[in-house]
Amino acid sequence: GQQLNQSPQSMFIQEGEDVSMNCTSSSIFNTWLWYKQDPGEGPVLLIALYKAGELTSNGRLTAQFGITRKDSFLNISASIPSDVGIYFCASSRGGKLIFGQGTELSVKP
Protein backbone atom coordinates (compact mmCIF):
# COMPACT_ATOMS: atom_id res chain seq x y z
CA GLY A 1 0.00 0.00 0.00
CA GLN A 2 0.95 3.64 -0.03
CA GLN A 3 3.24 4.41 2.83
CA LEU A 4 5.28 7.30 4.03
CA ASN A 5 8.57 6.21 5.53
CA GLN A 6 9.61 8.71 8.15
CA SER A 7 13.01 8.79 9.79
CA PRO A 8 14.48 8.87 12.26
CA GLN A 9 11.98 7.26 14.58
CA SER A 10 13.36 9.19 17.55
CA MET A 11 15.99 11.80 18.29
CA PHE A 12 17.69 12.90 21.48
CA ILE A 13 19.46 16.21 21.08
CA GLN A 14 20.96 19.01 23.12
CA GLU A 15 19.24 22.36 23.29
CA GLY A 16 20.60 24.63 20.58
CA GLU A 17 21.30 21.87 18.10
CA ASP A 18 19.74 21.71 14.67
CA VAL A 19 17.39 18.84 13.78
CA SER A 20 16.56 17.22 10.48
CA MET A 21 13.94 14.59 9.72
CA ASN A 22 12.54 13.32 6.45
CA CYS A 23 9.82 11.36 4.76
CA THR A 24 10.08 9.29 1.64
CA SER A 25 7.64 7.34 -0.46
CA SER A 26 7.67 5.14 -3.52
CA SER A 27 4.63 7.07 -4.80
CA ILE A 28 4.32 10.60 -6.10
CA PHE A 29 2.32 13.06 -4.00
CA ASN A 30 1.05 16.56 -4.69
CA THR A 31 1.06 17.75 -1.10
CA TRP A 32 3.37 17.36 1.85
CA LEU A 33 2.29 18.42 5.31
CA TRP A 34 4.25 18.53 8.53
CA TYR A 35 2.48 18.35 11.90
CA LYS A 36 3.66 18.44 15.50
CA GLN A 37 1.79 16.63 18.25
CA ASP A 38 2.31 17.36 21.93
CA PRO A 39 1.33 14.69 24.48
CA GLY A 40 -2.42 14.56 24.95
CA GLU A 41 -3.08 17.05 22.17
CA GLY A 42 -4.13 16.93 18.55
CA PRO A 43 -1.58 17.48 15.75
CA VAL A 44 -0.84 21.08 14.87
CA LEU A 45 -0.01 22.01 11.30
CA LEU A 46 3.51 23.41 11.02
CA ILE A 47 4.11 23.73 7.30
CA ALA A 48 2.13 22.84 4.17
CA LEU A 49 3.87 22.30 0.83
CA TYR A 50 1.96 22.19 -2.44
CA LYS A 51 4.58 22.44 -5.19
CA ALA A 52 7.57 20.29 -6.08
CA GLY A 53 10.80 22.01 -5.09
CA GLU A 54 8.98 24.40 -2.74
CA LEU A 55 11.01 25.51 0.27
CA THR A 56 8.99 27.09 3.06
CA SER A 57 9.97 28.45 6.46
CA ASN A 58 7.95 29.02 9.60
CA GLY A 59 10.17 30.65 12.20
CA ARG A 60 12.95 28.20 13.04
CA LEU A 61 11.33 25.50 10.93
CA THR A 62 12.09 24.91 7.27
CA ALA A 63 10.55 22.25 5.06
CA GLN A 64 11.04 21.31 1.44
CA PHE A 65 8.92 19.42 -1.07
CA GLY A 66 11.31 17.16 -2.96
CA ILE A 67 11.72 17.75 -6.67
CA THR A 68 10.80 14.13 -7.41
CA ARG A 69 7.57 14.61 -5.39
CA LYS A 70 8.42 11.48 -3.45
CA ASP A 71 10.06 13.03 -0.41
CA SER A 72 10.15 15.93 1.98
CA PHE A 73 12.32 17.07 4.85
CA LEU A 74 11.79 19.21 7.92
CA ASN A 75 14.61 21.09 9.62
CA ILE A 76 14.46 22.75 13.01
CA SER A 77 17.24 25.18 13.79
CA ALA A 78 18.54 26.06 17.25
CA SER A 79 16.23 23.67 19.09
CA ILE A 80 14.61 24.70 22.37
CA PRO A 81 12.93 22.56 25.06
CA SER A 82 9.42 23.33 23.77
CA ASP A 83 10.30 21.64 20.47
CA VAL A 84 9.80 18.34 22.28
CA GLY A 85 7.01 16.26 20.76
CA ILE A 86 6.19 13.93 17.92
CA TYR A 87 6.52 15.23 14.37
CA PHE A 88 4.45 13.64 11.61
CA CYS A 89 4.74 14.04 7.89
CA ALA A 90 1.55 13.51 5.93
CA SER A 91 0.34 13.60 2.40
CA SER A 92 -2.99 13.41 0.66
CA ARG A 93 -4.40 10.68 -1.53
CA GLY A 94 -8.04 10.36 -2.51
CA GLY A 95 -9.07 13.04 -0.07
CA LYS A 96 -7.50 11.26 2.88
CA LEU A 97 -4.24 11.88 4.70
CA ILE A 98 -1.52 9.27 4.86
CA PHE A 99 0.81 9.69 7.83
CA GLY A 100 4.40 8.82 8.45
CA GLN A 101 5.23 6.84 11.57
CA GLY A 102 6.35 9.95 13.41
CA THR A 103 9.64 11.23 14.78
CA GLU A 104 9.77 11.63 18.55
CA LEU A 105 12.04 14.52 19.47
CA SER A 106 13.57 14.93 22.92
CA VAL A 107 15.55 18.05 23.75
CA LYS A 108 17.92 18.13 26.70
CA PRO A 109 18.29 21.57 28.27
Partner 1 sequence: GAVVSQHPSWVICKSGTSVKIECRSLDFQATTMFWYRQFPKQSLMLMATSNEGSKATYEQGVEKDKFLINHASLTLSTLTVTSAHPEDSSFYICSASMGGQGGETQYFGPGTRLLVL
Interactions with partner 1, residue window 47-86 (CB under 8 A)? 48, 50
What's the count of helices (H) and strands (E) in the chain, helices before strands?
A: 0, 11
Q: Which residues contact 3 (CB under 8 A, 6 or more apart)?
A: 25, 26, 98
Stretch binding partner 1 (CB under 8 A), from 11-19, 27-35, 52-60, 75-83: 27-35
Q: Are 34 and 44 in contact (CB under 8 A)?
A: no
Q: Does 3 bind partner 1 (CB under 8 A)?
A: no
Q: Does 42 bind partner 1 (CB under 8 A)?
A: yes
Q: List residues near partner 1 by CB under 8 A.
A: 31, 33, 35, 40-45, 48, 50, 88, 92, 95-97, 99-102
